[in-house]
Chains A and B, each alone.
Chain A
Amino acid sequence: MADQTQFSLHDDSVVVIVGSGAGGGTLANELAQRGVKCVVLEAGKHYTPDDFENDEWAMFNKISWLDKRISAGGWHHTRTYPNLPAWIVKGVGGSTVHWSGVALRFQEHDFRTRTTYGAIEGANVLDWPITLAELEPYYDLAEKKMGVAGSKASGLPPMPPNNHYKVIEAGARKVGYKNIVRPAASNSKVYDGRPACQQIGFCMQGCKIGAKWSTLYTEVPRAQATGNVELRPESMVLQIQHDKDGRANGVLYVDGKGRRQLQKARVVCVAGNSIESPRLLLNSASGLFPNGLANSSGQVGRNYMNHATAAAVSIHKGPVYMYRGFDIAAVVADEVPLDTRRGFVGGYYLEGLALHLPYTAAFMKPGGWGRDFASALEMYDHMSCVWVCGEDLAREQNSITLHPTEKDQYGLPVPIVTKTYHENDDRITAHGLVQWRKLSEAVGATRVIDMPAYPASHNMGTNRMSAKAGDGVVNKWGQAHDVKNLFISDGSQFTSSSAANPTLTIVALAIRQAEHIAGAMQRREL
């Protein structure tokens, strides 16, 4: 960590940011560029592209968040992945290290789901306190920052189609789909001081050459270079502390040597992804906040969303070699707009997403075996693969809660991730799989194998934005209703999931939040 500024633990003028991913990393840089001093506490290690291997299992074991978690509720994960409800990264850069790179915007109605869908029985649907119009300028800034290929904001040409893209697109057009997109935050040309994509195909194992955007090698080092930011990896935050007036004033964490440290803070921003962020607030309960910090609404940890998802592989009549090239192939967007004639509210993307052989063997049919299984896997090089990504509805009972007795290696209660999908969610995934089958068979696929969803990589909603304090945790700025100098800066702010992968929206919100925080600090409002 040479060459970065170091702040004293007693320096109470700093903004403390928990997490260095899409939210935390972006926020740190945006604040730093505006002269705001920050300490970034990252629970994970500081891996760099030198540590990346083109090897699915090696990287899974190296960078995934594998601290004990428990899956509960009606979703199949309770049986199939009982200790891996979510698949996120523990490391500097957070999940931007392993994300697929697809950068999609929300639609207009995604911010007004309660108004648009009405009250839905069994769901806790709510409008965001912001609109698409308000976020649009920040989407432009995010697309430019991240280098989204094919976007006007970046000026980058689209990523060149690979074989996997072509197979999916051909089938999609045959069944009448027209809106086939591929907004990829990966350099189709040299951009931002980083090389062009070489179609390596191990995007989800960390981009070896830095062509795919990640805060690890963009926002974080740039933030440090201003002299306004100190990054402390291997710093697991245990608790946010507050003064007698309920103002956050410090962050207690365990450092890389196992020592407890207390960093004083002027402002605290939490961006630990949607399981750790609410968990931290719950673990910060006190006399003044008996149900968890900033939790007078009871909504901290609730309304957990992770998209209605499913997957499938199709075996084609010729070789595809889906692993050759950028991991995201064609993305069919025709089913995203609202159309209740299909029998559900919301919509979904069909996202071509390549799996390599080891993951295909593990996820095609968990627990599967025998000749049926083996014969499918023998046709691996003829496969295309889809990830159905659909909107899932907020439900109060879908939640992050603390185990009453079991503790992890830091002495913190193990989080329980409870999820039961709504009927609407199931209708979306069922529809998506039927449509994928159709478009695969349209180009002569001989077998289509539906797969259960893999562990949730999109985690949202557990500290949601709301206009009224009783309905959520934060306001339109991601500022906690109960604690004025506490902010949520990751996807746990999301009030609805939309069908879009969350990263672009997290980055846009972080850019906007930084502007707000910096202005409020200058005006001494914070």
Chain B
Amino acid sequence: MRNLNDNLAPGTMRVLDRRPTLQRRSFLRGGGLGAIGIAVIPAAGIAATKDVAARQSFRHLGAATGKTLVRMARDLYPHDKLADGFYLEAVAPYDAAAAKDKGVKSLLGEGVQDLDRRARQRHGVPYAEMKTEDERVALLKDIESTPFFKKVQGDLVTGLYNNKKLWPLFGYEGSSWQKGGYVNRGFDDIDWL
């Protein structure tokens, strides 16, 4: 089984299926982050839970700021097949951090305000309501050297890519010693060279 874009004949290599699978249990678990943690749900289906989750998760920063941070996170690292849940999970900790640290609260709050101001000036709507990715990216480029941008961008590197639930979607298997390493799990079975 190959990745969709590989132009290779079927072989004997142990290849991972990176397509996200719907985890029925977690989907049914209900509101909050857990419900959208691992599954890919069609965008329409997630719209309602998105707003609910944003309201639930950003009590200190506010739902609008939370929503903007999630949008910004996806614009920074756009993986079309990744559920919003991963981006939400990555920025959700900011809310507790803002509660503890006034500096963080103002950095993020004012950063979002500035981004929205630029969006309204240029496009008449706040950032999260802008329809075109290229236009949103252009605004992000404008604020690239700001401490606000650098914090969000820097934190996402681990907030997103150090999330174990995300790894299978990138063909990465994580911890291996408990499974006896790869000596019997295809460490040398490449078949397309």
Return the chain A residue nearest B14 by Cβ. A321
Is A410 close to B, CB under 8 A? no
* A377 and B193 alpha carbons, distance in the complex (Å): 22
Is A356 close to B, CB under 8 A? yes
Q: Are A323 and B172 in contact (CB under 8 A)?
A: yes
- Interchain residue pairs with CB less than 8 A apart (18): A55-B175, A57-B162, A162-B187, A165-B188, A198-B183, A317-B7, A318-B8, A319-B171, A320-B190, A323-B172, A324-B187, A357-B170, A361-B158, A369-B140, A370-B76, A378-B170, A380-B172, A381-B170
Return the chain A residue nearest B188 by Cβ. A162
* A143 to B: closest C-beta gap in Å: 23
Residues of A within 8 A of B180 (CB): 198
Contact flag A373-B177 (CB < 8 Å), given A160-B188, A197-B183, A318-B190: no
Q: Are B190 and A201 in contact (CB under 8 A)?
A: no
Is A433 close to B, CB under 8 A? no
Q: Which 8 A-B pairs have the closest CB atoms?
A: A381-B171, A198-B181, A361-B161, A54-B175, A318-B192, A200-B181, A325-B187, A163-B190
Residues of A within 8 A of B7 (CB): 317
Return the chain B residue nearest A357 by Cβ. B172
Interface flags for B27-59 (1: CB within 8 Å of A; 0: not) read 000000000000000000000000000000000
Interface flags for A187-204 (1: CB within 8 Å of B; 0: not) read 000000000011111100
* A80 and B18 alpha carbons, distance in the complex (Å): 32
Tally chain A residues at the interface, Cβ within 8 Å. 46
Is B160 close to A, CB under 8 A? yes
Contact flag A319-B157 (CB < 8 Å), given A374-B79, A380-B170, A380-B172: no
Residues of B within 8 A of A57 (CB): 158, 162
Is A362 close to B, CB under 8 A? yes
Residues of A within 8 A of B181 (CB): 197-201, 325
- In chain A, residues 141-193, which have Cβ atoms closer than 8 Å to a Cβ of chain B? 160-163, 165-167, 170
* A356 and B156 alpha carbons, distance in the complex (Å): 17
Q: Are B193 and A357 in contact (CB under 8 A)?
A: no
Return the chain A residue nearest B170 by Cβ. A380
Is A259 close to B, CB under 8 A? no
Contact flag A54-B177 (CB < 8 Å), given A166-B190, A361-B160, A367-B153: yes
* A326 and B75 alpha carbons, distance in the complex (Å): 35
Residues of A within 8 A of B79 (CB): 374, 378
Q: Are A377 and B170 in contact (CB under 8 A)?
A: yes
Q: Are A317 and B192 in contact (CB under 8 A)?
A: yes
Q: Are A325 and B188 in contact (CB under 8 A)?
A: yes
A contact face: mostly helix, strand, loop, or mixed:
loop
Interface flags for B10-37 (1: CB within 8 Å of A; 0: not) read 0001011010000000000000000000
- Hey, which bits of chain A sit against chain B, CB under 8 A? 53-55, 57, 160-163, 165-167, 170, 197-202, 208-209, 317-321, 323-325, 356-358, 360-362, 367, 369-371, 373-374, 377-378, 380-382, 443
- Other than the given A362-B158, A373-B77, 13 more pairs (CB < 8 A) read A57-B158, A160-B188, A170-B193, A200-B176, A317-B7, A325-B181, A325-B187, A357-B172, A358-B158, A360-B161, A361-B162, A377-B170, A381-B18
Return the chain A residue nearest B3 by Cβ. A319
* A321 and B174 alpha carbons, distance in the complex (Å): 11
Q: Are B172 and A381 in contact (CB under 8 A)?
A: yes
* B20 to A: closest C-beta gap in Å: 13
* A75 and B37 alpha carbons, distance in the complex (Å): 41
* B119 to A: closest C-beta gap in Å: 18
| Residue of B16, B78, B187 touching A163 (CB-CB under 8 A) | B187
Q: Are B193 and A167 in contact (CB under 8 A)?
A: yes
Residues of B within 8 A of A162 (CB): 182, 187-188
* B181 to A: closest C-beta gap in Å: 3
Residues of B within 8 A of A317 (CB): 6-8, 192
Is B147 close to A, CB under 8 A? no
Residues of B within 8 A of A367 (CB): 150, 153-154
Interface flags for B117-152 (1: CB within 8 Å of A; 0: not) read 000000000000000000001001000000000100
Return the chain B residue nearest A326 by Cβ. B187
Is B189 close to A, CB under 8 A? yes
* A165 and B187 alpha carbons, distance in the complex (Å): 10
Residues of A within 8 A of B158 (CB): 57, 358, 361-362
